[in-house]
């Protein structure tokens, strides 16, 4: 007999894991700062921290504040019509009522593949965009499951959470670059055994830290998808709707025309990776579809 899963338990666990992973990124950033302080001067620790934070915040602020407009423009989405997209509009209104959130602006993008995404810096500025393929291939329960998943991203402030992760990754990348460059200005301890070891450790950390941070961010993204699935079930009380939609998505393929319309930079926004990373789940922004379906069927 399959063990039943509680969507409330799934939500709590995945949120907790996301926080732990975020803490891992912060610890990595502090480690780089510590190494810079040891190699150069302890007083530089806070200077590096401040520079990294300011530059990273400035770099990501624009994308965060205008995330909805950038995402919609990149896929050439058009506002949904209350006449031509009546079922979609009803599904969004129903899920807004179930979640207690404001009704987001609704858009439709031309794509044969079944997919959708949500964007916006907060519930008051949120948008939901659905592909024409989703409207054509999904029934009412499946479409509501997809909309509930996207409303869950809005309710859980996932755009804000992932923006914070992006800021932290930017900070690590900047700090790692400073660490690498700091070796050119440090010659005091290079001749000692301790200095040589510190030098090697510093180079390894500076090279691997940004890669590690990116992998952790991808893991956070996958946990947020699981959380959105579970929160979507909380809104619909019908896990089979989203599970059935994901089953159809699993066998759906990206056409050459769709690939031209979707930029790879926006792929993490979608409820399912449009390009289906086949290399490894470690490098994917989304968890395996089969595992998502299994968890939903167990709720």
Residue 36: pLDDT over 90: no
Among the listed residues 150, 177, 225, 265, the single catalytic one is 150
> What mean pLDDT comes out for the span 278-288?
74
pLDDT of residue 254: 75
pLDDT of residue 40: 62
CA separation for the pair 114, 141 (Å, rounded): 14
pLDDT of residue 245: 96
For the chain, which residues make up each domain, given as ranges?
7-63+158-249+261-297, 72-155
Strand 127-131 relative to strand 116-119, pairing: antiparallel
pLDDT of residue 52: 66
Tell me, yes or no, if 150 is annotated catalytic: yes
Bridge partners of 116, per DSSP, are: 130
> Please, how many CA atoms are within 13 Å of residue 137, restricted to the half-sphere of its CB?
22
For the 72-155 domain, the top CATH level (class) is: alpha beta
pLDDT of residue 158: 83
Q: Which range (7-21, 150-164, 204-218) has the least confidence?
A: 7-21
Residue 1: pLDDT over 50: no
pLDDT tens for 103-114 read 999 999 999 999
Residue 266: pLDDT over 50: yes
Any residues with CB less than 8 A from the CB of 247 and at least 6 apart, and which?
293
pLDDT tens for 117-153 read 998 878 888 999 999 999 999 999 999 999 999 999 9
CA separation for the pair 16, 10 (Å, rounded): 10
Burial 196-214 (b: 16+ CB within 10 A, else e): eebbeebeebbeebbeebb
Q: How many CB atoms lie within 10 A of CB 190?
A: 12
User: Which tokens belong to 224?
Assistant: 């947020």
> What mean pLDDT comes out for the span 84-109?
95
The pLDDT confidence band at residue 25, using thresholds 50, 70 and 90, is confident
pLDDT of residue 41: 63
pLDDT of residue 247: 95
Residue 29: pLDDT over 80: no
């Amino acid at each position: 007999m399959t063990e039943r899963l509680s969507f409330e338990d799934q939500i709590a666990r995945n949120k907790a894991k996301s926080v732990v992973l975020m803490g891992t990124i912060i610890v990595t950033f502090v480690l780089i700062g510590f190494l810079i302080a040891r190699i150069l001067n302890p007083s530089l620790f806070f200077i590096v921290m401040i520079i990294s934070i300011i530059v990273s915040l400035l770099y990501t602020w624009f994308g965060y504040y205008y995330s909805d407009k950038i995402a919609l423009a990149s896929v050439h989405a058009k506002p949904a019509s209350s006449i031509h997209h009546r079922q979609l509009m009803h599904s969004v209104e129903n899920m807004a009522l179930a979640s207690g959130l404001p009704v987001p602006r609704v858009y439709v993008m031309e794509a044969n593949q079944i997919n959708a995404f949500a964007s916006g810096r907060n519930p008051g500025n949120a948008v939901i965009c659905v592909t024409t393929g989703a409207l054509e291939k999904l029934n009412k329960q499946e479409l509501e499951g997809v909309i509930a998943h996207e409303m869950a991203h809005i309710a859980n402030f996932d755009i804000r959470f992932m923006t914070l992760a992006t800021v932290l990754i930017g900070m690590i990348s900047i700090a790692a670059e400073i660490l690498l460059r700091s070796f050119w200005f440090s010659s005091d301890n290079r001749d000692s055994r301790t200095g040589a070891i510190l030098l090697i450790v510093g180079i390894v950390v500076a090279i691997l830290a940004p890669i590690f941070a990116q992998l952790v961010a991808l893991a956070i993204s996958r946990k947020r998808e699981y959380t959105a699935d579970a929160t979507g079930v909380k809104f619909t009380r019908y896990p089979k709707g989203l599970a059935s939609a994901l089953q159809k998505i699993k066998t759906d393929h990206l056409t050459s025309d769709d690939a031209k319309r979707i930029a790879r930079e926006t792929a993490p926004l979608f409820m399912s990776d449009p390009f289906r990373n086949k290399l490894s789940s470690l490098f994917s922004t989304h968890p395996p579809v089969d595992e998502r379906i299994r968890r939903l069927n167990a709720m």
